[in-house]
């Protein structure tokens, strides 16, 4: 395997030439050694996700590449699919080949045009089915995605039936984010990942402008967000946490899917968060009572806090009522954001309740 | 020990489970089952085992499971 002697690239860039064909145990070993974790938000060790499917014989499992990118502030998957789609297809080929997959699917948002990917996909021997699905925040959640691929609604399934046991076509299914797949392609060629992180940057002042960056893991938040330095950065997107310490290296943060949303000093963090929570409440799949009821209630109380009339204790109570009481992590992520806002901006909350905001 | 699991995609806040297992579950302000202990999947003590099995059968949405 001469490929493992070539220096590891420091960025995700297109690569010519075939991707190694590996057995499942060898792939598992390389992934374990590399320490690769998922880039879809969950951050699970990729070798462990693979291990859960090693027991199945050839022709049994389904492999799904997740390019849904339901987080509105995230664009890194779209960027990767446009600039280095071959890496994603390579990752799919390696994993599907190692597991002897019966189907290989790539899930993309319905509105997205991917001419380079389509061309590459058509040119390859190993068939990848591209499935285009409607965009909703939870549509990229693993079991919701699998339900949609199966022709059903893009809503999460119950927790006691994980997709690794019963997923697409009721087969054991491995769902991997497209960036994770690209990094798998790097690991199998070089024995290690690039050491970089793929990020999407935005500011509360201009939420439509998303910038995708790839930087070394040791880079600090300050170096990434640049000048003027924001008051805080929402790290991990709508289900993330606020970070004030801009000198923290990216490697020390829970990046999730790499979304960094800078709070402009002119913007009120409570107003910004209330807007996000309102959106998250609207994006509930509508299946689970605590989420369906709790998230709109949280949004309303948060708007009340902005106006000076909401109760922080009630907000904390609602967080406790929605956490771990649903089929997916949507309510938990929303509660995480709210709790983080209350902690990080505690003085500002007091200002609001005293009727003074000034932003 | 067995644990009680709610299938949240099915649960409709009907409440038979909490009625049959008042020592394990209460209901929240919206009618949904809430464990008395701070766990997502509460343990079912041996004394409550039979009632728990009955609660599983009694749920009209088949939203309750008992792990072994």
Cβ of A325 under 8 Å from any chain B Cβ?
yes
DSSP alpha helices (H): ranges in chain A? 24-34, 46-51, 76-83, 85-99, 115-123, 142-149, 178-190, 221-225, 269-282, 289-307, 312-322, 330-344, 346-353
Q: Which of A233, A186, A211, A216 is nearest to A46 (CA)?
A: A186
What pLDDT is stored for residue A39 in this prediction? 96
Instruction: Let me know how long chain B is.
Output: 68
Query: Is B19 in CB contact (< 8 Å) with chain A?
Result: no
**HSE of A358, CA atoms in CB hemisphere, 13 A:** 7
Q: Which tokens go with A16?
A: 């010519």
B2-37, pLDDT tens digit by residue? 999 999 999 999 999 999 999 999 999 999 999 999
Q: Which residue of A has its CA nearest to B28?
A: A321
- Determine the pLDDT at residue A30: 97
Q: Which of B5, B7, B9 to mutate to test the interface with A (most CBs of A within 10 A)?
A: B9
Q: CB-based contact (8 Å) between A116 and chain B? A: no
Determine the pLDDT at residue A2.
Answer: 45
Q: Rounded to an integer, what distance in angstroms lies between the CA atom of residue A180 and that of residue A192?
A: 13
Question: Do A287 and B13 lie within an 8 Å CB cutoff?
Answer: no
Best of A144, A147, A160 to substitute, by most chain B Cβ atoms within 10 angstroms, is A160
CB contact A288 to B (< 8 Å):
yes
A321/B29 Cβ within 8 A: yes
Gap from A302 CA to chain B (nearest CA, Å): 19
Instruction: Give the per-residue pLDDT at A112.
Output: 81
- Taken in order A130, A86, A64, A336, the sign of the CA dihedral is negative
Q: For residue B46, give how far its alpha carbon lies from the nearest alpha carbon of chain A (Å).
A: 23
**Weakly modelled stretches of chain A, pLDDT under 50:** 1-3
Task: Say whether residue A4 is in contact with chain B using an 8 A CB cutoff.
Answer: no
Per DSSP, A73 falls in state: T
Q: Does A293 touch chain B (CB under 8 A)?
A: yes
Does the beta carbon of A290 lie under 8 angstroms from any beta carbon of chain B?
Answer: yes
Q: Are A211 and A202 in contact (CB under 8 A)?
A: yes
Judged by a CB distance cut-off of 8 A, whether residue B40 touches chain A is yes
Q: Is B45 on the interface with A (CB under 8 A)?
A: no
Nearest to B28 among A155, A290, A324 (CB): A290
- CB pairs A-B closer than 8 Å: 45
Query: Which of A157, A160, A291 is opposite residue B5, by nearest beta carbon?
Result: A160
User: Cα dist. A181→A48, A146, A197, A318 in Å?
Assistant: 14, 17, 14, 37
Q: Which two tokens stand for residue A345?
A: 């901006």
**Option in B7, B13, B28 nearest A158 (CB):** B7
Task: Report which secondary-structure segment, H or E, holds A52.
Answer: none
Kindly report, residue by residue over A147-174, the tens digit of the pLDDT. Answer: 999 999 999 999 999 999 999 999 999 9
pLDDT, position A1: 43
Residue in A with minimal Cα distance to B35: A325
Nearest residue of B to residue A161 by CA position? B7
- In this prediction, residue A227 carries a pLDDT of 87
Whether residue B61 lies within 8 A of chain A, CB to CB, comes out as no
Contact: A321, B28; criterion CB under 8 Å: yes
Within an 8 Å CB–CB cutoff, is residue A152 touching chain B? no
Task: Give the list of residues 6+ apart from residue A37 with CB closer than 8 angstroms, or none.
Answer: A43, A44, A45, A46
């Amino acid at each position: 395997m001469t490929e493992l002697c070539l220096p590891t690239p420091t960025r995700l860039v297109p690569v010519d030439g075939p991707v190694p064909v590996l057995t499942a145990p060898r792939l598992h070993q390389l992934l374990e050694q590399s320490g690769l974790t998922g880039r879809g938000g969950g951050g699970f060790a990729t070798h462990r996700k693979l291990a859960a499917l090693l027991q199945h014989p050839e022709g049994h499992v389904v492999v799904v590449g997740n390019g849904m990118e339901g987080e509105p502030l995230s664009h890194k998957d779209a960027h990767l699919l446009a600039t280095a789609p071959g890496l994603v297809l390579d990752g799919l080929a390696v994993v599907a080949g190692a597991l002897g997959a019966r189907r290989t699917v790539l899930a993309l948002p319905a509105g997205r045009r991917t001419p380079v990917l389509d061309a590459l996909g058509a040119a390859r021997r190993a068939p990848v089915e591209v499935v285009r699905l409607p965009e909703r925040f939870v549509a990229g959640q693993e079991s919701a995605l699998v339900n949609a691929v199966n022709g059903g609604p893009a809503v999460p399934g119950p927790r006691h039936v994980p997709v690794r046991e019963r997923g697409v076509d009721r087969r054991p299914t491995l769902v991997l984010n497209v960036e994770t797949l690209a990094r798998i392609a790097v690991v199998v060629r070089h024995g290690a990942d690039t050491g970089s992180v793929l990020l999407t940057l935005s500011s509360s002042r201009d939420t439509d402008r998303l910038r995708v960056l790839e930087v070394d893991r040791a880079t600090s938040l300050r170096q990434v967000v640049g000048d003027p330095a924001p008051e805080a950065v929402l790290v991990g997107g709508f289900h993330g946490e606020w970070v004030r310490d801009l000198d923290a290296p990216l490697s020390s943060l829970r990046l999730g899917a790499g979304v960094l949303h800078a709070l402009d000093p002119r913007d009120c963090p409570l107003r910004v968060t209330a807007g996000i929570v309102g959106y998250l409440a609207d994006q509930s799949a509508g299946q689970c009572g605590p989420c369906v009821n709790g998230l709109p209630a949280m949004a309303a109380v948060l708007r009340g806090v902005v106006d000076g009339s909401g109760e922080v204790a009630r907000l904390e109570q609602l967080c406790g009522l929605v956490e771990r009481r649903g089929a997916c992590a949507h309510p938990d992520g929303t509660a995480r954001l709210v709790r983080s806002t209350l902690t990080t901006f505690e003085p500002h909350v007091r200002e609001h309740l005293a009727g003074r905001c000034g932003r | 020990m067995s644990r009680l699991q709610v299938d949240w995609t099915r649960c409709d806040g009907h409440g038979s489970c909490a009625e049959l297992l008042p020592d394990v579950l209460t209901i929240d302000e919206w009618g949904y089952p809430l464990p008395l202990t701070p766990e997502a999947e509460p343990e079912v003590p041996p004394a409550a085992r039979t009632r728990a099995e009955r609660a599983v059968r009694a749920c009209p949405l088949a939203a309750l499971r008992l792990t072994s």
